[in-house]
């Protein structure tokens, strides 16, 4: 496939692979979960691209777990393209204490939206899963074909099962009904509109919050769960949004595709990086009696690279910009550490 020289939004020029699936500027595009970390990033990306008919629905307007309500909304709004990025999400603590919510909410959301998309003839749907779908002891880096080859990580098994069901749902509707539904599995995400609540957040925003609080309160140290040895990969959510639009235009296969950077670091190294950005000089104390989660989780992104997409935002740059956002907008949204993590 050839490439074309195009101008980026920042004015620079680059080679871009011609679109396999053209998405008209006036196409009706539904972002399911637009208020969360991923959905808000996709919405920003689509707006920057000039798409003029973007559809959204708040939880108050539409309960995505209710099939009748979702069917009615799809009939009334007739989206042509759907980005299914809604769900109930959270870190180790939230997964451990709310397993029923995590499996029920996500199973229902995936099922109702996919079925309504089929019923109303949606032209293309991209379902976004999670890298937690892979076995706890999967070979590293993790390939797409490693799915269902071993036992899952116990601390997030209910959530992982729901996300796996979402992949299989898209594959089943594709095979039985010919629906143009595809799936992507991102690595650990962070960025603007992340959840910084210490009871329910993921590791990177939780570290930003902890070191920020320590700096503001004048504390000399911050405690981090686990041994610090597990290794994780992190992708800025704006890069993910770019990848989602890229896949919507260029990917057309039954199997899901990994989305990540292909680079990882230890939790200890991550904590030190966040500390250096947010609160230099604050000591780091590990709490090895707390769970670590999977020993390592690095995605093999060779298929995505072969398609022509790579991430652009480095980890330190991303942490710096995320902390700047948190200082101006994020902390004001979080008066207490009791918020839930639904996006």
- Catalytic residue numbers read 159
Q: Rg of the Cα trace of the chain?
A: 20
Select from 91, 177, 104 the least CA-distant residue to 132.
Answer: 91
Rounded to 10 degrees, the C-alpha dihedral 322/302/124/149 comes to -100
Q: Is the peptide bond before 40 cis (omega within 30 degrees of 0)?
A: no
Give how far Cα 4 sits from Cα of 13, 75, 145, 233, Å.
10, 38, 32, 31
Quote the tokens at residue 101: 């919510």
How many whole angstroms separate alpha carbon 216 and alpha carbon 142? 39
How many whole angstroms separate alpha carbon 219 and alpha carbon 280? 12
Judge contact between 23 and 248, C-beta under 8 A: yes
How many whole angstroms separate alpha carbon 80 and alpha carbon 100? 32
How many whole angstroms separate alpha carbon 57 and alpha carbon 63? 9
Select from 263, 265, 253, 267 the least CA-distant residue to 303.
Answer: 253
* Class of residue 168 by CB neighbours under 10 A (exposed 0-12, middle 13-18, buried 19+): middle
In three-state form (DSSP H/G/I as H, E/B as E, the rest C), the secondary structure along 109-136 is HHHHHHHHHHHCCCCEEEEECCHHHCCC
Quote the tokens at residue 257: 């595709």
How many whole angstroms separate alpha carbon 250 and alpha carbon 213? 43
């Amino acid at each position: 496939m050839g490439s074309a020289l195009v101008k980026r939004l920042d004015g620079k020029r680059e080679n871009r692979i011609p679109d396999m699936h053209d998405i008209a500027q006036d196409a009706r595009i539904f972002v399911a979960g637009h208020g969360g970390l991923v959905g808000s990033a996709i919405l920003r990306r689509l707006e920057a691209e000039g798409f003029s008919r973007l559809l959204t629905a708040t939880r108050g307007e539409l309960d995505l777990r209710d099939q009748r309500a979702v069917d009615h909304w799809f009939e009334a709004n007739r989206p042509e393209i759907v980005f299914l990025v809604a769900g109930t999400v959270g870190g180790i603590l939230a997964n451990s204490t709310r397993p029923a919510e995590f499996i029920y909410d996500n199973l229902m959301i995936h099922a109702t939206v996919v079925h309504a998309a089929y019923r109303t003839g949606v032209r293309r749907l991209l379902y976004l899963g999670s890298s937690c779908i892979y076995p706890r002891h999967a070979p590293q880096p993790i390939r797409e074909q490693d799915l269902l080859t071993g036992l899952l990580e116990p601390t997030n098994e209910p959530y992982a099962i729901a996300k796996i069901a979402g992949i299989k749902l898209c594959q089943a509707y594709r095979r039985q009904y010919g629906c143009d539904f595809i799936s992507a599995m991102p690595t650990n995400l962070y960025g603007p509109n992340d959840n910084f609540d210490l009871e329910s957040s993921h590791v990177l925003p939780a570290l930003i919050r902890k070191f920020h609080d320590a700096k503001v309160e004048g504390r000399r140290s911050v405690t981090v769960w686990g041994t610090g040895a597990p290794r994780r990969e992190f992708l800025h959510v704006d890069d993910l949004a770019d990848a989602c639009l890229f896949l919507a235009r260029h990917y057309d296969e039954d199997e899901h595709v990994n989305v990540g950077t292909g680079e990882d670091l230890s939790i200890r190294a991550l904590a030190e990086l966040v500390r250096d950005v947010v609160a230099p000089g604050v000591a780091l104390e590990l709490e090895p009696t707390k769970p670590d989660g999977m020993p390592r989780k690095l995605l093999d992104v060779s298929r995505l690279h072969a398609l022509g997409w790579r991430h652009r935002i480095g980890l330190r740059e991303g942490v710096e910009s995320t902390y700047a956002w948190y200082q101006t907008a994020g902390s004001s949204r979080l008066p207490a550490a009791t918020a839930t993590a639904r996006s």
